[in-house]
């Protein structure tokens, strides 16, 4: 570490802030101060702690930015220490994603009395995801035209162009060259153990398919050999409970992860880049805002109070916003859907797993559509031409099936959509500098889209536990 005094001070302040966040009001002190009966005392809920972590991280990041400036080596070294908490937390969540998806789907199938509801769940979930992605693409087209954004006159610098070639090389080798039949084939698992290691972009879907087959096999076993079948079902159930305990253990760390992630984002933001491409940032967030309103309308139509929904899911949205990882948000999403929205484990697991790979509203819908509209005029296409817009919507919706829940999924989506429409991908390079800033909002929208899909599916199948959905209190996700 080298005894660098400012660095030591930064790290000590960071540790102090984490400890401060860990201090929920203590009972004894509470009693002395307020002379209240025990029944009034309530520990802080996870949601409250996440919010406080978000606020502390923002102010600490601003302070560091003001003291050092965004590119200061001391700040960068401090970040590498803070990252132990921020990136460490995201890695812990990534650690539980695959076991959780696998066990949840397995358990969901094993609990199904008939396989027909499985088809319905998948159909409703995927339809909702693709439908909302289609709307998101349309919103992207409208917002970009409304703000009159165009790529004309924007010239990427050498640094960005270099970054683009690295990115295109990285992604093109993976999926962009696949034809539709090859893409569908890539979903079918051939080595489930490799998929457990998330070896390919479509691992999550492959794992869902593997778990589905394994679950159906368990049901078949139950028919042919009741005793062994029962034993397998009990084992699956036990495994599920065990993995959920693991999820809750990691979830308790959310406020500290959010504090560290937020500090990193705020202290490292380059104000000049943001101002230079400010129009795009503003337009993106207007588009994201409109999509959240669309989600609220869809919830209302399905008979769910949108305000209550957003109040219950917002710790998940906060995490998605700061971590920028749809896949890492799967455990939190499943937990909130089952514990706070009253959605069955099977629907929640399907929605969260599919939602991290198929039809991401922000990354695969809104963003590629916005870029396409910006680039179109530079190659002589009228971005308001109805047939071109319809083609764009179709391409975006179909390609959103293949955009995996990898970090930078939006860049990846743009690299599929733009060439498919015969457009150059240079604009992607320009936006690399402000990418993280917009990606935060996009990821929150992706994750919200998957929870919406779960909620709507649950409502359509009349499986929502109304008592949990309508309950006002916040205890179910408390940090204890």
pLDDT at res. 10: 94
- Any domain includes 258: yes
- Determine the structural domain holding residue 186 and report its residue range: 5-469
> How far apart (Å, rounded) are the C-alpha atoms in residues 154 and 372?
15
Tally of structural domains, the chain = 1
pLDDT of residue 42: 56
Residue 344 lies in a domain: yes
Q: What is the pLDDT of residues 122-143, one digit of tens each?
A: 899 999 999 999 999 999 999 9
Compute the half-sphere exposure of residue 433: CA atoms within 13 Å on the CB side of its CA: 19
* CATH number of the domain to which 64 belongs: 1.10.3860.10
**477 inside domain:** no
Question: In this structure, is residue 476 part of a structural domain?
Answer: no
Residue 238 lies in a domain: yes
Distance CA 124, CA 129 (A): 9
Name 405's Cβ contacts closer than 8 Å, sequence gap at least 6.
204, 325, 326, 327, 330, 356, 357, 360
pLDDT tens for 211-235 read 989 998 998 999 999 999 999 999 9
Which pLDDT score, from 0 to 100, does residue 414 have?
A: 83
- pLDDT of 479 reads 40
Please give the residue that has the higher pLDDT: either 95 or 271: 95
Give the relative orientation of helices 278-301 and 306-323 as an angle to the nearest 10 degrees.
140
Kindly state whether residue 462 falls inside one of the protein's structural domains: yes
- The answer to the question of residue 332 being in a domain is yes
Answer yes or no: is pLDDT of 171 > 90.
no
Compute the mean pLDDT over every residue in the chain, rounded to the nearest whole number.
83
Q: pLDDT band at residue 474, thresholds of 50, 70 and 90?
A: low
Query: Does the residue 346 lie in any domain?
Result: yes
Q: Is the confidence at residue 23, as pLDDT, over 90? A: no
pLDDT at 289 > cutoff 60:
yes
């Amino acid at each position: 570490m080298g005894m660098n005094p400012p660095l030591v001070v930064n790290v000590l302040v960071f540790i102090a802030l984490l400890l401060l966040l860990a201090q929920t009001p203590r009972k004894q002190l509470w009693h002395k101060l307020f002379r209240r009966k025990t029944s009034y005392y309530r520990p802080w809920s996870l949601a409250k702690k996440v919010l406080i972590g978000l606020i502390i991280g923002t102010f600490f990041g601003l302070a560091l930015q003001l003291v050092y400036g965004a590119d200061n080596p001391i700040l960068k070294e401090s970040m590498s220490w803070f990252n132990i908490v921020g990136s460490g937390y995201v890695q812990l969540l990534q650690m539980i994603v695959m076991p959780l998806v696998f066990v949840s789907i397995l358990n969901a199938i094993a609990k199904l009395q008939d396989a027909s509801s499985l088809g319905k769940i998948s159909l409703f979930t995927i339809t909702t995801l693709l439908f909302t992605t289609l709307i998101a693409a349309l919103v992207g087209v409208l917002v970009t035209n409304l703000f009159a954004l165009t790529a004309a006159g924007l010239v990427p610098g050498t640094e960005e162009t270099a970054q683009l070639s690295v990115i295109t090389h990285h992604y093109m080798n993976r999926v962009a060259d696949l034809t539709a039949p090859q893409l569908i084939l890539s979903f079918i698992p051939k080595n489930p153990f490799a998929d457990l290691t998330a070896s390919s972009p479509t691992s999550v879907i492959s794992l869902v398919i593997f778990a589905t087959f394994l679950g159906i096999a368990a049901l078949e076993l139950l028919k042919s050999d009741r005793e062994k079948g029962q034993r397998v079902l009990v084992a699956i159930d036990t495994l599920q409970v065990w993995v959920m305990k693991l999820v809750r253990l990691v979830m308790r760390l959310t406020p500290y992860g959010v504090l560290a992630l937020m500090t990193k984002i705020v202290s490292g933001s380059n104000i000049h880049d943001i101002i230079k491409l400010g129009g795009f940032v503003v337009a993106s967030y207007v588009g994201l805002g409109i999509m959240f309103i669309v989600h609220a309308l869809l919830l209302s139509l399905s008979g769910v109070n949108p305000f209550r929904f957003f109040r219950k899911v917002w710790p998940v949205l906060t995490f998605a916003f700061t971590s920028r990882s749809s896949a890492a948000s799967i455990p939190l999403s499943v937990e909130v859907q089952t514990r706070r929205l009253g959605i069955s484990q099977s629907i929640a697991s399907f929605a969260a797993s599919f939602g991290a790979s198929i039809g991401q509203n922000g990354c695969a819908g809104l963003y590629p559509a916005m870029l396409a509209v910006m680039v179109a005029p530079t190659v002589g296409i009228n971005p308001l031409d109805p047939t071109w817009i319809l083609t764009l919507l179709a391409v975006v919706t179909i390609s959103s099936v293949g955009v995996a829940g990898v970090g930078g999924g939006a860049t990846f989506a743009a690299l599929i959509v733009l060439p498919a429409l015969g457009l150059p991908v240079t604009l992607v390079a320009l936006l690399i500098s402000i990418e993280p800033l917009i990606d935060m909002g996009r990821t929150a929208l992706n994750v919200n889209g998957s929870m919406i899909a779960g909620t709507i599916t649950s409502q359509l199948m009349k499986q929502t536990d109304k008592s949990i959905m309508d309950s006002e209190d916040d205890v179910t996700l408390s940090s204890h």
